[in-house]
Amino acid sequence: MTQPQIAIIGGGPAGLMAAERLSAAGVQVDLFDAMPSVGRKFLLAGRGGLNLTHAEPFADFVQRFGARRPQIEPMLEMFGPQALRDWAQGLGIETFVGTSRRVFPTDMKAAPLLRAWLHRLRAAGVRFHMRHRWIGFAQGAALRFATSDGEVTVRADAALLALGGASWPRLGSDGSWVPLLRERGIDVAPWQPANCGFDIGASGWTPFFAERFAGQPFKSVAIAFEDGQGRRFARKGEFVATATGIEGSLVYAVSALLRDQIAVHGRATLHVDLLPDRSPAQVLAAVQQRGAKSLGSHLKSRLGLDAIKSALLHEVLPREALHDAARVAATLKAAPLTVTAPRPVDEAISTAGGVRFEALDAGLMATAAPGLFIAGEMLDWEAPTGGYLLTASMASGAVAASAMRARLADGRLVPSGPADVYSPR
Ligand SMILES: Cc1cc2nc3c(=O)[nH]c(=O)nc-3n(C[C@H](O)[C@H](O)[C@H](O)COP(=O)(O)OP(=O)(O)OC[C@H]3O[C@@H](n4cnc5c(N)ncnc54)[C@H](O)[C@@H]3O)c2cc1C
């Protein structure tokens, strides 16, 4: 009997994990990617210190997937945070738990891990076909690819799409597959930016603030926000001023709530505590002790307020209020910032939206296209930064691989039947 042929399209963490699981089980895997090399977003993630996963208790970890927890939790039970750390160790990459309980490779880098991973996959017989852009389906379940030598058609017994979301399209995942799946009757939720920055109010920053502080961090602050449904966010951290608004880790953490509130109300107001380690009474007492000094130098010497925090005070308070100690103190503890639009999807760290779980079975196979599996960020789930994105992407690749194996073992092949993989038309 001919050996079953599997096509994996997309060489990000989800596709590579599926390739690993299948090839380890002795299945011949052909992996296709539009880009000249695989794992580009993974490598970029490594630039900021690759955050592989999170070491919080499993019960807390699964909460991060919000409304999609019921779908993601069973996947994490198969391949969760500890399994990911063990897997990295198996590739010779030790990990450590940072102060925030985020887990990183000891050298913080992605490249050594990806190198070792690809070495393992090649040794297991995975064949890589770069510069193959999937452009849809040919007759039956055959797959069409655009290549530099023209179009080719590939037949496979089962195929996995792991094409990523739609953020940072220059790294390969551009979401151009959405109409292809919709035509096939597979339901895809519209993209939304996740872990994204925001533009602030209609008038934005003053030109002075934007010119002087764009790109500068607000360090040791806290953000508080409560949406219209009583969902609350309050956390310490840091974020960055941009020319038109705000971005950075603390903003990403609250971004889903802000985005959803803007979608309903057109705006969302969060409060920044510029001195989270001091009580309102301490701040008020310090502000009241101002003598002949300018407000800026008084706040700097008494409260250690740096230039960007001081400037924010001037952005949000009218000039006359700057003489009112009670208002200054209250604003230092809760400076209101109104955001009116998330930054576009292509700038976001990740995306919400994608193939709806309702279009799939428990093994991530599209019910409208038997033999076609979907994994990774192209599925409709979202999570904050903190290693949750990589963990769930890889977990879904592992789940799809196991379902593909089960399907092959049952002899339930796609309607096009076994045929020559990679057969140019
Ligand atoms: C700047 C940045 C930093 C990040 N840092 C972290 C972090 O520290 N921790 C974390 O958990 N997550 C992080 N993420 C998110 C994480 O990288 C992604 O969630 C993850 O890579 C998704 O994996 P994936 O396999 O689903 O998709 P991707 O990694 O996006 O891979 C998809 C692959 O599919 C290919 N492809 C797309 N369309 C086609 C097509 N039509 N034909 C053929 N091939 C195609 C692409 O070229 C790509 O190789 C970060 C993201 C960004 C942008």
Question: What is the residue-wise DSSP string for 192-205?
Answer: EEES--EEESTT-S
Ligand 1: nearest atom to the Cα of 46:
8
Query: How far apart are the CA of 157 and the centre of ligand 1, in A?
Result: 25
Q: Is the CB of 247 under 6 A from ligand 1?
A: no
pLDDT at 386: 94
pLDDT at 411: 76
What is the rounded CA–CA span in Å between residue 312 and residue 314?
Answer: 5
Low-confidence ranges of the chain (pLDDT < 50): 1, 415-425
Handedness of CA 314, 317, 318, 323 (dihedral sign): negative
Consecutive H or E run containing 180: helix 178-183
Q: Is the CB of 381 under 6 A from ligand 1?
A: no
Name the maximum alpha-carbon separation found in the chain: 91
Q: Note whether 357 and 378 are within 8 A (CB).
A: no
Pocket test for ligand 1, best of 21, 118, 390 (most atoms within 8 A of CB): 390
DSSP string, 356-412: -GGGB-TTSBBTTSTTEEE-GGGBS----SSSHHHHHHHHHHHHHHHHHHHHHHTT-
Q: Is the CB of 393 under 6 A from ligand 1?
A: yes
pLDDT at 422: 39
End-to-end CA distance of the chain: 24
pLDDT at 418: 37
Tokens representing 316? Answer: 């949000």
Q: Is the CB of 5 under 6 A from ligand 1?
A: no
Tokens representing 276? Answer: 């989270």
Closest CA to 271 of 295, 280, 202: 280
CA-proximal residue: ligand 1, atom 27 (nearest): 164
pLDDT at 290: 79
Q: Note whether 215 and 244 are within 8 A (CB).
A: no
pLDDT at 425: 28
pLDDT at 412: 67
Tokens representing 78? Answer: 């198969």
Q: Is the CB of 349 under 6 A from ligand 1?
A: yes
pLDDT per position as a tens digit, 362-421: 999 999 999 999 999 999 999 999 999 999 999 999 999 999 999 988 876 554 443 334
pLDDT at 151: 96
CA-proximal residue: ligand 1, atom 14 (nearest): 45
pLDDT at 88: 98
Burial class (CB in 10 A: 0-12, 13-18, 19+), 123: exposed
Q: Is the CB of 396 under 6 A from ligand 1?
A: no
Closest CA to 376 of 2, 13, 121: 13
Pocket test for ligand 1, best of 17, 52, 173 (most atoms within 8 A of CB): 173
**Ramachandran angles phi, psi of 6, nearest 5°:** -120, 130
What is the rounded CA–CA span in Å between residue 294 and residue 98?
Answer: 40
The predicted model scores a pTM of 0.94
